[in-house]
């Protein structure tokens, strides 16, 4: 084995001297940088050189973080979307209920105005259900004898005549609609005051105006209102609007068809108007008052 002879002279300082030297140099550099910012430009240059390396090294971590955020965002969006769908359904139901309540409120206000116009003591009622007889157009309301309901009371809504109470029970009453064939209402034409009788046709929810001569001044679109001559319906309540007028010279009477203005098949609340009080009959004079009211004859003088 070949061994080189040890060098005759040692080359360079010892390791301890090197360590001491570099330590002193490092401390001097730190003091100079701290006191005088001597290495600021060097630090900036190194940061410019190392920035691309830092960006390249951070790419995998950024990709992993973005992938995690993407999947977390997807799950959060799906959850929020499901919650929003539930809220939309709840709000849709609430909106429909609000629309129904607003419509009913408007109907009740209209009924109240009509009550104030025609009667001081009307009574609001709710339609419970339609009568089960398919051959008659009747509805049942939630007011009866216990509420002072009487047979013959007119029933109206915010637009006009609905019908008339025909059967009264203890807690409920039956209302025959104005379109029923055995219902008749004395009416008057708003445009010219022509009087007639409106009779329910019993079909198609229409009203007929029979026995009107061909020469009668009636046009499509005219409005019939109650005339009040029957002492049942107050005058001025809207009954129907003329939809068809057929005049044939070969017949004596014209065929006039009208549609009810009131919602006979639509609304839940109606108003029952009290029957008008008949005028009090004038008391007959008593025989004594009749004799006193007559002319007294002058007494004859005695001779």
Task: Write down the pLDDT at residue 292.
Answer: 55
Give the tens place of pLDDT for each residue, 131-188.
Answer: 777 677 889 999 999 988 999 999 988 788 899 999 999 999 999 999 988 889 999 9
Tell me the C-alpha distance between 152 and 168, whole Å: 10
Task: Write down the pLDDT at residue 301.
Answer: 46
Q: What are phi and psi of 256, to 5 degrees?
A: -120, 125
Nearest to 126 by CA among 169, 157, 168, 94: 157
Nearest to 194 by CA among 229, 160, 218: 218
Mean pLDDT, rounded, of the chain: 79
Q: Is the pLDDT of residue 63 over 50?
A: yes
Task: Write down the pLDDT at residue 260.
Answer: 92
| CA torsion angle 106 276 262 175 (round to 10) | 100
Give the tens place of pLDDT for each residue, 91-142.
Answer: 766 676 666 667 666 666 666 665 555 544 678 888 888 877 767 788 999 9
Q: Give yes or no for a contact between 212 and 254, defined as CB atoms under 8 angstroms apart.
A: yes
Task: Write down the pLDDT at residue 303.
Answer: 40
- Determine if residue 109 is left, alpha or beta; phi over 0 gives left, psi from -120 to 50 gives alpha, anything else beta: alpha
Mention every residue, 6+ apart, whose C-beta is less than 8 A from residue 104. Answer: 267, 268, 269
Which tops the pLDDT comparison, 298 or 234?
A: 234
In the chain, % of residues over pLDDT 90:
23
What's 123-272's CATH class?
mainly beta
- Per-domain residue ranges of the chain: 15-118, 123-272
Task: Write down the pLDDT at residue 25.
Answer: 86
∠ Cα 94 107 141 (to 5°): 95
């Amino acid at each position: 084995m070949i061994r080189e002879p040890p060098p005759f002279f040692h080359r360079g300082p010892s390791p301890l001297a090197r360590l001491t030297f570099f330590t002193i140099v490092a401390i001097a550099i730190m003091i100079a940088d701290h006191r005088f910012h001597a290495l600021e430009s060097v630090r900036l240059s190194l940061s410019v050189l190392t920035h691309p390396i830092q960006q390249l090294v951070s790419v995998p971590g950024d990709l992993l973080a973005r992938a995690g955020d993407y999947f977390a965002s997807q799950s959060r969006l799906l959850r929020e979307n499901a919650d929003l769908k539930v809220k939309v359904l709840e709000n849709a139901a609430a909106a429909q209920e609000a629309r129904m309540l607003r419509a009913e409120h408007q109907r009740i206000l209209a009924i109240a105005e009509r009550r104030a116009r025609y009667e001081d003591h009307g009574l609001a009622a709710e339609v419970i259900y339609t009568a089960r007889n398919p051959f008659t157009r009747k509805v049942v309301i939630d007011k009866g004898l216990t509420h002072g309901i009487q047979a013959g009371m007119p029933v109206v809504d915010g637009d006009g005549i609905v019908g008339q109470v025909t059967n009264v029970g203890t807690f409920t009453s039956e209302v025959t609609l104005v379109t029923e064939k055995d219902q008749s209402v004395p009416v008057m034409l708003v445009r010219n005051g022509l009087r007639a009788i409106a009779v329910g046709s019993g079909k198609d929810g229409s009203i007929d105006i029979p026995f009107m001569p061909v020469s009668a001044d009636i046009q499509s679109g005219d409005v019939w209102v109650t005339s009040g001559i029957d002492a049942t319906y107050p005058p001025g309540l809207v009954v129907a609007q003329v939809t068809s007028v057929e005049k044939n010279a070969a017949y004596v009477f014209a065929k006039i068809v009208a549609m009810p203005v009131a919602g006979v098949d639509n609304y839940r609340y109606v108003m029952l108007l009290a029957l008008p009080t008949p005028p009090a009959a004038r008391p007959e004079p008593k025989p004594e008052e009749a004799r006193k009211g007559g002319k007294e004859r002058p007494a004859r003088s005695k001779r």
